[in-house]
């Protein structure tokens, strides 16, 4: 029997449904090795500036183990934040024929890649990462990084790519086409698309004082520099359209600054961080998700919003925008940090008839239905069955 060991730092809402589906659909043995440590199911997220414990099940329906992490400071923010002395032995004891590694930028993950590619009866290394070339600069640091990453990827057998920008990244770092396998970036579409959330959303809209005739621009996520929420607030203020609302959902380091920017505009409203069970309700408060990030490898909030039937406006630095947004059909892409382009995109929506905005949302919902876990699950099952 083939055996797939999955190496990833900690349980997250975007991976657990895939792991459950693999365990259910595959005839191979599946086991997840969480490397951040036993406390990683609840962790401090510096972006939200708070401890995070997701309120949906992340450890049900598949086999897993929390591997002991001996790093002085356990962290996903540094290379030496994940050090697991027994990890390679644990994988060997499991009898892995295939190893799916999420990310190379932790000491133990890179060690797994190097160790198992050298063994005489080596397990096949499948790599999963969502990096892009969107933030590259033509300097010495980029050149040195490219040389290093080209060396790293020589140790893998297959790279899973999540979309166009990610595919170009792998190709730029020497991964040949025959080693690339499409595995789309996905979320639990079903959890977000069921209609039972509609009633809760209408009640919350009323509590927030959002009229039914208002078009709502929605931001969800961390209030941090790379998400560029200040640009969105400034664009909304300059848009100055009386029939629109901007709803900012989240927490983070920029919260006080954002509330100061918005203090004189009653059409800008804030909600604090919402846990996963509430997010399908939160998205239904909006008509259009706006993602103004200055750097974003993908932007899974787009998937979530589209599953809830929202149009999307995203910056050109959002890695998944070119895959998920059809210009003018279900949203718009604006040049990153370009205030005027963002205002124009928001103005297009603000001046549309409400039925047109709803139609854009339906296009989103239809499009995102093909970005699902079944695609990735089938690709992996076919790969490990060979």
d(C-alpha 335, C-alpha 294), whole Å: 10
Rounded to 5, what percent of the chain is helix, strand, coil?
40, 20, 40
* Mean pLDDT of all residues belonging to the chain: 94
The class (CATH top level) of 3-186+371-385 is alpha beta
**pLDDT at site 56:** 82
Q: Please provide the distance, in angstroms rounded to a whole number, between the alpha carbons at the two ends of the chain.
A: 11
Segment 131-159 mean pLDDT: 96
Checking if the pLDDT of 335 tops 80, the result is yes
Helix (H) or strand (E) holding 203: helix 197-208
Q: The pTM is what?
A: 0.93
- Smallest CA-to-CA distance from 298 within 166, 146, 106, 137 is with 166
**pLDDT at site 120:** 61
Checking if the pLDDT of 280 tops 60, the result is yes
**pLDDT at site 52:** 64
Segment 329-336 mean pLDDT: 99
Side-chain half-sphere exposure of 72, counting CA atoms within 13 A:
2
3-186+371-385 and 189-368 have identical folds: yes
User: In the structure encoding, which two tokens stand for residue 274, read together?
Assistant: 């919402």
Vertex 109: Cα angle to 18 and 294 (nearest 5): 70
User: In the structure encoding, which two tokens stand for residue 132, read together?
Assistant: 């892009």
**pLDDT at site 80:** 96
**pLDDT at site 57:** 87
Checking if the pLDDT of 242 tops 90, the result is yes
- 8 close to 102: Cβ distance less than 8 angstroms: yes
**pLDDT at site 41:** 57
Phi (first) and psi of residue 49, to 5 degrees: 60, 40
The tokens 């603000």 sit on which residue?
A: 350
CA dist 379 → 20, 123, 180 (Å) = 15, 18, 11
User: 189-368: which CATH topology?
Assistant: Rossmann fold (3.40.50)
- Per-residue pLDDT tens over the stretch 288-327: 999 999 999 999 999 999 999 999 999 999 999 999 999 9
Domain boundaries defined on the chain: 3-186+371-385, 189-368
């Amino acid at each position: 029997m083939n055996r797939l060991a999955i190496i990833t730092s900690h349980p997250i809402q975007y991976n657990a449904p895939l792991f459950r589906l693999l365990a259910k659909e595959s005839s191979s043995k599946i086991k997840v090795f969480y490397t951040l440590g036993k406390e990683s199911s609840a962790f401090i997220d510096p972006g939200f500036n708070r401890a995070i414990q997701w309120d949906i099940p992340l450890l049900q329906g598949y086999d897993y183990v929390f591997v002991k992490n001996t790093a002085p400071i356990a962290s996903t923010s540094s290379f030496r934040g994940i050090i697991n002395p027994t990890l390679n032995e644990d994988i060997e004891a499991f009898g892995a024929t295939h190893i799916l590694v999420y990310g190379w930028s932790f000491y133990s993950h890179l060690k797994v890649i190097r160790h198992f590619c050298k063994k005489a009866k080596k397990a096949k290394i499948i790599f999963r990462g969502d990096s892009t070339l969107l933030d590259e600069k033509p300097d010495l640091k980029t050149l040195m990084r490219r040389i290093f990453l080209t060396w790293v990827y020589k140790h893998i057998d297959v790279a899973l790519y999540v979309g166009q920008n990610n595919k170009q990244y792998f190709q730029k770092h020497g991964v040949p086409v025959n080693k690339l396998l499409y595995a789309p970036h996905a979320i639990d579409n079903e959890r977000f698309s069921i209609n039972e959330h509609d009633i809760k959303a209408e009640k919350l809209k009323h509590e927030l004082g959002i009229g039914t005739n208002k078009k709502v621009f929605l931001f969800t996520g961390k209030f941090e520099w790379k998400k560029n929420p200040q640009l969105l607030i400034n664009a909304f203020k300059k848009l100055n359209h009386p029939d629109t609302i901007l709803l900012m959902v989240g927490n983070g380091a920029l919260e006080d600054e954002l509330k100061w920017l918005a203090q004189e505009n009653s059409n800008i409203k804030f909600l604090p961080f919402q846990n996963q069970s509430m997010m399908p309700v939160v998205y239904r408060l909006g008509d259009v998700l706006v993602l103004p990030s200055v750097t974003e490898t993908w932007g899974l909030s787009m998937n979530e919003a589209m599953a809830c039937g929202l149009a999307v406006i995203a910056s050109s630095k959002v890695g998944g925008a070119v895959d998920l947004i059809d210009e003018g059909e279900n949203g718009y892409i604006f040049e990153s940090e370009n205030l005027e382009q963002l205002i124009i995109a928001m103005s297009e929506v603000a001046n549309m008839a409400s039925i047109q905005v709803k139609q854009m949302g339906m296009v989103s919902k239809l499009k995102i239905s093909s970005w699902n876990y079944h695609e990735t699950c089938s690709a992996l099952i076919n790969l490990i069955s060979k």
